[in-house]
Structure 1
Amino acid sequence: MAAPLRLEVIVASVRPQRFAPVVADWFLRAANADAAFEVGVIDLAHTPLPVDLTEDAEVRAFQERVGAADAFVAVTSEYNHGYPAALKTALDSAKREWRAKPIGFVSYGGLSGGLRAVEQLRQVVAEIHMVSIRETVSFHEAKRKFDAEGNTQDGAAIDAADRLLRQLAWWGRALRSARAADPYPG
């Protein structure tokens, strides 16, 4: 059996009193239970990246971590029909490190469940040569979907998370093998 894929889960919201940790922790439990992955967390609230995109030691460490990963999942809210600025800064702070790697999305928000943010992100990640996983986990009116312990009974989200992880593992293995056999020409 192949070595587990290094999955980095990016927590995008940096707002005070954010709901992101509830959604991220729920997804992390599912990801950690999947033997296909070795899971890490990049919480952008605790990952200081300069908005002017200058490069310093922390940015280089972030780039190295992105470069070492095989796959990503962004846990993102939706702000004003878009995704958090901190996530755009993170995507722009690395370049070649993202290329030829899969990314999935777990979104949450009000009535749209963050899906408008995800659709915008699909355009951005395509431009940086990533493969966007089709399956998305989405929580509409997210604060109503979780109990006090951070669990959900949302069957559609639970099923979507399982499908997302299976698709992410397939793409992660395929792209890791492809990058090892023939470096991505980007």
Structure 2
Amino acid sequence: MADTPRIALIISSTRDSRWADKPAQWALKKLQARGDMEVELVDIRDFHIPFFNEVASNAYVPTQDPNARRWQEKIAGFDGYVFLVAEYNRSITGALKNALDQDYVDWGRKPMGAIGYGSVGAARAIEQLRLMAVELQMVPVRAGVHIGGSEFYRVGPYNPNPEPIEAIDGVLDGSFKDMADQVAWYARVLKPARAEAAQAAA
């Protein structure tokens, strides 16, 4: 349906040896099963985004680098975002920070949720991401999904005999539903509001 919000599930780790693909497929399946959003997996690694080296933000001047422009065009097509967050040294990955910095215009007035993984479920990284999202005029939702502690060990990369990631559904289904519900609600509300604002400014 035309009114169904389009949500990007963004993989933020770009390492060759990353674990992100396993939770990404798990989250994608759960989000697509809802029926109240169209969800696409978006991998920062596929865009070969350079380190930010523009004269200024695209809020002020057009971006020159073609890969950065391709990234902007991609994220502009969504009504909200769910970030898959790996915690590196108590923060988000450098790749995600750089991807956020490449665009100011197209993130705004859209909701963002987060799914984090690591020893504390990427809680510290997600809190920093929420602050960045506020600056970019996104709407961070309250609920988050944190794959941490014993659940992370059960299914994660440091277990020599990991369980299928679905083994943690019973622990995380509640928080996953809350996060997705909030992203979907704000996406539905903000989509027509953005359209109305754009029409008024035309």
User: Normalising to structure 2: TM-score of the pair?
Assistant: 0.84
Give the aligned partner of residue 76 of structure 1.
85
C-alpha distance in 2 between matches for 1:40 and 1:68: 11
C-alpha distance in 1 between matches for 2:136 and 2:108: 6
Structure 1 residue 180 corresponds to structure 2 residue 190 = no
C-alpha distance in 2 between matches for 1:152 and 1:90: 32
Deviation at 1:45, TM superposition (A): 2.1
Aligned-partner residue type, residue 167 of structure 1: Q
C-alpha distance in 2 between matches for 1:41 and 1:58: 18
Give the aligned partner of residue 35 of structure 1.
35
Number of residues of Structure 1 aligned to a counterpart in Structure 2: 184
Task: State the SS of the aligned residue for 2:88.
Answer: coil
- What are the residue-to-residue correspondences of 1:11-30 with 2, within 5 Å? 11-30=11-30
Q: Deviations over 1:138-177 (max 9, x none)?
A: 0113242465543233423121111111111100011101
Task: State the SS of the aligned residue for 1:96.
Answer: coil
Contact 2:155-2:165 within 8 A present in 1 as well: no
Give the aligned partner of residue 115 of structure 1.
123
C-alpha distance in 1 between matches for 2:48 and 2:153: 27
Give the aligned partner of residue 163 of structure 1.
178
Structure 1 stretches of 4+ with a deviation exceeding 6 A read: none
Aligned-partner residue type, residue 108 of structure 2: R
C-alpha distance in 1 between matches for 2:132 and 2:168: 32
Aligned-partner residue type, residue 68 of structure 2: V
Task: State the SS of the aligned residue for 2:18.
Answer: coil
Out of 144, 160, 174, which is 2:154 matched to?
144
Q: Deviations over 1:112-144 (max 9, x none)?
A: 110000011111010010000110000113242
Q: Deviations over 1:36-93 (max 9, x none)?
A: 1111111122221101344322221211111110010000111111110000011011
Q: Which sections of structure 2, spanning at least 5 residues, go unmatched?
A: 55-63, 157-161
**Structure whose CA Rg is larger:** 2
Q: Which sections of structure 1, spanning at least 5 residues, go unmatched?
A: none
Contact 1:139-1:145 within 8 A present in 2 as well: no
